[in-house]
A and B are shown apart, each in its own frame.
Chain A
């Protein structure tokens, strides 16, 4: 199953990057994609793949999460540009380091959460130690969203996408 997925991804990349559709180039693409798939088919998707249906549902959930995240990214950019272009930036800054424990189990979900924290307004992930996140926040307000004892909104989203939590 994972081999078929890997072959599809590799061949798609080959077509996009070569841009030629004659029989010679496509044949070379099939050969090299098959070689790469045979060498490393368990790298791209981990071995214990779920059913196709579950994977498709997860991708759909992830696209919905991306829609929510892109709104956050726009807010973050406006926030940081406003801070930088304000007259006295140091007057509005109040940096601090916060720490919180996550309930996410899998490595990939933690990776997505860390990258999402970096993209959202005013926070950058500094370090992850097992299940503890160290986050640098640029203002007190942006720290307030993450510092509470209950899981933040973003963590609930990630848990909903990857681990079947409730939203």
Chain B
């Protein structure tokens, strides 16, 4: 029972992050920000889903389920190494392609709530 609740919670969390990835890929303004959404949202949500799966598999414990569990862990480890690498390859190719770059339309100080100190220091450095 407790395992069921844990599995359901983890899966719904993973689904929320998957949704964040998808919506980010559709809504973000340029290629580089889309890469951010794709590269980060997928790792944690995949881990959530596969963790829920491994809990569900280990519920009836046997030698075979242990092997399946180890393979799931292997997939998780592999995705942790491969996903940033694939992201890096894609964004490097896009940079080589000179994909148009989106910046803020104008730096008018309209958003006082967002204008933190770090923003000011950044501009000081860049000048």
Contacts and interface: CB of A to CB of B under 8 A. Distances in A.
Contact of A144 (B21, B24, B87, B122): B122
B91 interface: yes
A95 B32 CA distance: 8
Interface string B30-58: 10110111011101110000000000000
A91 B111 contact: yes
Nearest to A138: B36
Interface in B54-108: 64, 67, 70-71, 74, 81, 84-85, 87-88, 91-92, 95, 101-104
A95 B43 contact: no
A126 B87 CA distance: 9
Contact of A118 (B67, B87, B118): B87
A76 B47 CA distance: 14
B23 A84 contact: yes
> How many A residues touch the partner, as a band?
35 or more
Contacts of B23: 84-85
> Mostly helix, strand, loop or mixed at chain B's interface?
helix
Chain A binding surface SS class? helix
Contacts of B41: 77, 80-81, 84
A89 B118 contact: no
Interface string A87-107: 001111111100000000000
A77 B32 contact: no
Nearest to A93: B33
Given A81-B17, A84-B27, A124 B35 contact: yes
A88 to B, nearest CB: 10
10 contacts: A16-B71, A19-B64, A80-B41, A84-B23, A89-B28, A91-B111, A115-B84, A118-B84, A124-B36, A138-B36
Given A89-B28, A124-B39, A140-B116, 5 more contacts: A84-B28, A85-B20, A118-B88, A125-B88, A140-B119
Interface of A: 16-17, 19, 73-74, 76-77, 79-85, 89-96, 114-115, 118-119, 121-122, 124-127, 136, 138, 140-141, 143-144, 147
